[in-house]
Amino acid sequence: MTAVGTIRLYRPAPETISESERCGRAQFTVRNAGTPRIQIAVCGEIDAVNGRALGYYIERHTGTSRQLILDLRPVDFFGSQGFTALYYASVHCSRSDVDWIVVSSPPVQRILRICDPDGELPVIDDMAAAVHRLDRLAVSRRRMHSTG
């Protein structure tokens, strides 16, 4: 008889949700910020060395949640590869039906003024406002599912 089991594709094992990763001059850390929400904090510098790693880190951890707060407040340098990582995360979150928001720092805001002048990415500069916005999105989703 053949063994039957579950193979995880694109979703991390729940026990890895507290993992932290160092890449170049940046540190990525994920924590469970509430039942339906995770928070990824990024410290240091996002550049050509680790921009792609940030995008993959976000992708790897959004499979465990319906909402994501990406905290970039401790970021000291944010190059154009950081914008590419945010765009990649935006596409992934949209396809995976994950609500997300970026809490930014001045270096992040400077690049986004150039690369995202129309404000397409969900960026805010205050953590309390980010949490409030995701709470409102969760409530509206529950209403849509209960009436639909």
For residue 120, what are the CA distances in angstroms to 1, 34, 101, 109? 52, 26, 11, 13
pLDDT in tens, 15-49: 555 589 999 999 999 987 666 899 999 999 999 99
pLDDT in tens, 46-81: 999 999 999 999 998 887 789 999 999 999 999 999
Domains of the chain with CATH codes: 17-147 (3.30.750.24)
Measured distance CA(136)–CA(131) in Å, rounded = 9
CA atoms within 13 A on the CB side of 88: 16
pLDDT at 8: 45
Name the token pair of 18. Answer: 């507290």
